[in-house]
Structure 1
């Protein structure tokens, strides 16, 4: 599901690790009453001698917008030992209310209040441990201001449990989050769900969101899914942007609610406007593709860019691909590479692989085998298995070191031994080409045979080595049978080679109509050799009615794709069409092209053209073999 981050990203979590806490500073406060106003007057009178009165006066000043004065009163009361004041001072430092923001001071005062029994303070101390804002006591400093030291779930668990037992609904939700997201030694999903339920019953939006996610994880029926959606909707109504995104995703895919793409996109837009980067990406993709919404490439690119700048690596990759492909937006390869690098550095493996491929083949950027190797290795480190094949092909073309060759062979050998058929084929290539290991055609054949059980490309190559007798005894009958399996699976080279065997009767009886059918399939994939073979069949001499018009057409198509003998035959057909200098002028370049590719008969044709009268007409001549 798109809303579940396999890396455990906090984008869809309850508590955002590393984010500064921003909750309303006046939770759990009683409403103002006439009696409260009278108490405020009394507090002003006795504040100089009562810490609790100073605390109440400080809170009143904060509520009235006089933050600096309020903080002054609260600080005095906090130093006097008032637990509520200590908690409030910690909150002021945490949020920069009436005093410059300072996480270290916030943590110090919150911890004092937490030790004094304040459930609210215990919650915040636990949250700061989860964020990594409090570091272990044995380090040089107890608190840090500028960067996270990493979450300390064990310390957080203690304070969150105390807050939860003390009745803090937020503490209950945080405890559940720790029991879900902490290390294996403390995770307990059933207990976490119970705490989420208690928090949700108390009306805590984070508890509702957590309960909804917990229900989704174990949902086996529509009823449980609907319950999950109900809880997440409560969190969304309370203003949690992530919950709004989740409702959009559930609506798009019809989980616990009727599928409605139009409604989902409306919700994605609302979440995107609240800076939920996953929603920005989903909306951007929909606009770029015109999926459920009118296509708008410019707006789509804008949302993808916003998500990318907010740290969404996949969105950055999509922006890069938009610039690389061009189209409605002009291509900009410098921008494309910059965005792809941003995505790859953000841990998005497909972007690293794309960069490796770009530098490998020199598309849009200069060919650079070192950079290709770097980015492909990065993609492999990020878990992209396909990049191992790209890396291996780079090594096969002569890039990399002997160490790279050994590493490539080791990857494929290890995977092949586990039964991976694709790896078995690639391991066979290592033996066939001597990549990271001594060349051994017999072992190459053995691994190809294993891979041929389920890999069509391996079926083609195993068929070929049987026909050639390379690493195995020659066996054209069996080789032809393997080619048939590969051809039926759509391997174009197998279709063409099998077609040639059917024409020549190799490995079995000749079958010219069957060969024609195979060549026709291959031409659908643009195979020039198959086009030439069809031209040869229709040229005559086979068990197929000759058709000079079809022969000419197929020779032309193959010649235009660079097939040398097709260029020769098409030139001959041009000479045989009709009298006139025009055909001679058209034929000459095709003979020259064929001669440049080493066709000696083309040289003879050019010599003959130089000697014969320019208007002489003659039929296409010369042998024309399919193979």
Structure 2
């Protein structure tokens, strides 16, 4: 879930009324975001420690492909994150360890479709583009066949397809129903995803208490994503009371299990003093660890550390490179922050057109900070023509998503009559919204308005 938003205001407040911008430091695991990365190295290390004699002995000189297929599907299912590249690498790693080729398995799968795991794995090959061009529609059809035969893994994959729209079959209601059925079968991934559905209102009404209960249940079953997400519930008070210490402990547990999001979130705890003392050096080290695991959010946050000198020396060029890396992984947060670098000349030359394009890209991905900064571009004419009405619409959109800076900027628009008719009551309403989230500029503005 993309929920947590560590905000960095880039324009210090003065008595002059003006809009603001923001960087974005995100810290929560979102099944809707496929740029997760981060657990393969640890998973492979554990896999390489496994006693594979039993497996090898069951594979004769002619190779017992059925055992191999079952083992590959089981290993893929043990990944606690859904990441195409991780699964692809896992499959190739398994094959290399057993002196097998993907072509051998692919041919076997084509000729043996009477076994549910064979159908699932052939679906994976189509989905990931192994021995064949990526064909998510075909993968969806294969998962559907295996799901109808009772395969719990296929049902989970099918639910993810409905959630993400893979194979052009996006259907939130069907995704919810599948995850609900999987939860009833005590499948931890399904339980965690069901919690996500309740948290975001996907295929059902938002029910934060139910989301909390499901993340707790997934945690009890040892699901590392569930552990991380339960930590976030305690941090933000989602379906439960805020408990920073409990959040810290859960992030620590997820981190100890190798979950890159848990490692990143533990870094956030040390950065902000959530459930522990502030320790910027420790935060930097944890962001570095998450980044080393390939976690896009950790890479982004490491870039922020280099930009601002958090736990390390300031190195704007390094910050730019890390934001670029996160952006290349498709991370909307990194894309937004890369845009800010181009706008302000942080580690690179100023390129306002490029900044505008990146904010647009982040906004298109639903990133609230990107939407806010895109609005700022339209308001100020940064990389595009001034369009105050468009700026207002974008601030409204981001404000409705709960973005603290957008709420402040929207209030400013109402107060100054920029892009909309003046409305002091609406201005006060949105300043209060922003102030309640801790925006000091909004708090100061409210005091000034009431002092008139």
TM-score, length-scaled by structure 2: 0.66
Distance 2:222 2:448 in 1: 56
Distance 1:287 1:108 in 2: 46
**What is the aligned partner in structure 1 of residue 413 from structure 2?**
388
* 227 and 110 in structure 1: CA distance in 2 versus 1, 3 angstrom threshold: same
**What is the aligned partner in structure 2 of residue 351 from structure 1?**
373
Q: Is the contact between residue 341 and residue 351 of structure 1 (CA under 8 Å) also seen in structure 2?
A: no
Query: Counterparts of 1:267-416 in structure 2 under 5 Å?
Result: 267-307=286-326, 310-312=331-333, 313-323=335-345, 332-333=349-350, 335-344=351-360, 346-347=362-363, 348-349=370-371, 351-352=373-374, 354-356=376-378, 359=381, 371-372=385-386, 374=387, 376-383=388-395, 384-385=409-410, 388=413, 392=417, 408=420, 411-412=421-422, 415-416=423-424
**What is the aligned partner in structure 1 of residue 117 from structure 2?**
84
**What is the aligned partner in structure 2 of residue 176 from structure 1?**
195
* 236 and 23 in structure 1: CA distance in 2 versus 1, 3 angstrom threshold: closer
The alpha carbon displacement at 1:392 in A equals 5.0
What is the DSSP-based 3-state SS (H/G/I as helix, E as strand, rest coil) of the residue aligned with 1:258? coil
2:215 aligned to which of 186, 189, 196: 196
What is the DSSP-based 3-state SS (H/G/I as helix, E as strand, rest coil) of the residue aligned with 2:266? helix
**What is the aligned partner in structure 2 of residue 13 from structure 1?**
29
Distance 2:268 2:135 in 1: 37
**What is the aligned partner in structure 2 of residue 50 from structure 1?**
none
Query: Counterparts of 1:182-581 in structure 2 under 5 Å?
Result: 182-183=201-202, 185-218=204-237, 224-307=243-326, 310-312=331-333, 313-323=335-345, 332-333=349-350, 335-344=351-360, 346-347=362-363, 348-349=370-371, 351-352=373-374, 354-356=376-378, 359=381, 371-372=385-386, 374=387, 376-383=388-395, 384-385=409-410, 388=413, 392=417, 408=420, 411-412=421-422, 415-416=423-424, 420=428, 455=449
**What is the aligned partner in structure 2 of residue 115 from structure 1?**
148
Q: Is the contact between residue 176 and residue 193 of structure 1 (CA under 8 Å) also seen in structure 2?
A: yes
* Structure 2, unpaired ranges of 5+: 7-23, 73-93, 364-369, 396-408, 432-444
What is the DSSP-based 3-state SS (H/G/I as helix, E as strand, rest coil) of the residue aligned with 1:70? helix
Q: CA RMSD in A?
A: 4.5
Q: Is the contact between residue 336 and residue 358 of structure 2 (CA under 8 Å) also seen in structure 1?
A: no
The alpha carbon displacement at 1:420 in A equals 4.2
Q: Is the contact between residue 89 and residue 106 of structure 1 (CA under 8 Å) also seen in structure 2?
A: yes
Q: Is the contact between residue 17 and residue 130 of structure 1 (CA under 8 Å) also seen in structure 2?
A: no
Distance 1:182 1:105 in 2: 29
* 196 and 311 in structure 1: CA distance in 2 versus 1, 3 angstrom threshold: closer
2:185 aligned to which of 152, 166, 170: 166
* Higher RCO by CA contacts (8 Å cutoff, separation 6 or greater): 2
Is residue 2:127 matched to residue 1:94?
yes
* 319 and 386 in structure 1: CA distance in 2 versus 1, 3 angstrom threshold: farther
**What is the aligned partner in structure 1 of residue 434 from structure 2?**
none
**What is the aligned partner in structure 2 of residue 74 from structure 1?**
109
TM-score, length-scaled by structure 1: 0.50
Q: Is the contact between residue 284 and residue 310 of structure 2 (CA under 8 Å) also seen in structure 1?
A: no
Distance 1:296 1:379 in 2: 32
**What is the aligned partner in structure 2 of residue 126 from structure 1?**
159
The alpha carbon displacement at 1:239 in A equals 3.7
The alpha carbon displacement at 1:73 in A equals 2.4
The alpha carbon displacement at 1:263 in A equals 0.8
Distance 2:252 2:194 in 1: 22
Q: Deviations over 1:21-71 (max 9, x none)?
A: 99989999x96555x666544997xxxxxxxx7633655797523322223
Distance 1:452 1:72 in 2: 69
Q: Deviations over 1:331-352 (max 9, x none)?
A: x55x144324432553335534
Distance 1:213 1:77 in 2: 44
**What is the aligned partner in structure 2 of residue 400 from structure 1?**
none
Distance 1:261 1:172 in 2: 35
Which has more radius of gyration?
1
Q: Is the contact between residue 410 and residue 430 of structure 2 (CA under 8 Å) also seen in structure 1?
A: no
The alpha carbon displacement at 1:274 in A equals 4.3
* 216 and 69 in structure 1: CA distance in 2 versus 1, 3 angstrom threshold: same
Q: Is the contact between residue 198 and residue 211 of structure 2 (CA under 8 Å) also seen in structure 1?
A: yes
* 234 and 94 in structure 1: CA distance in 2 versus 1, 3 angstrom threshold: farther
Q: Is the contact between residue 90 and residue 109 of structure 1 (CA under 8 Å) also seen in structure 2?
A: yes
* 302 and 279 in structure 1: CA distance in 2 versus 1, 3 angstrom threshold: same
* 230 and 43 in structure 1: CA distance in 2 versus 1, 3 angstrom threshold: farther
Count residues with an aligned counterpart: 370
* 214 and 388 in structure 1: CA distance in 2 versus 1, 3 angstrom threshold: closer
The alpha carbon displacement at 1:96 in A equals 3.3
What is the DSSP-based 3-state SS (H/G/I as helix, E as strand, rest coil) of the residue aligned with 1:259? coil
What is the DSSP-based 3-state SS (H/G/I as helix, E as strand, rest coil) of the residue aligned with 2:156? helix
**What is the aligned partner in structure 2 of residue 56 from structure 1?**
67
* Structure 1, unpaired ranges of 5+: 45-52, 134-142, 394-406, 424-450, 460-627
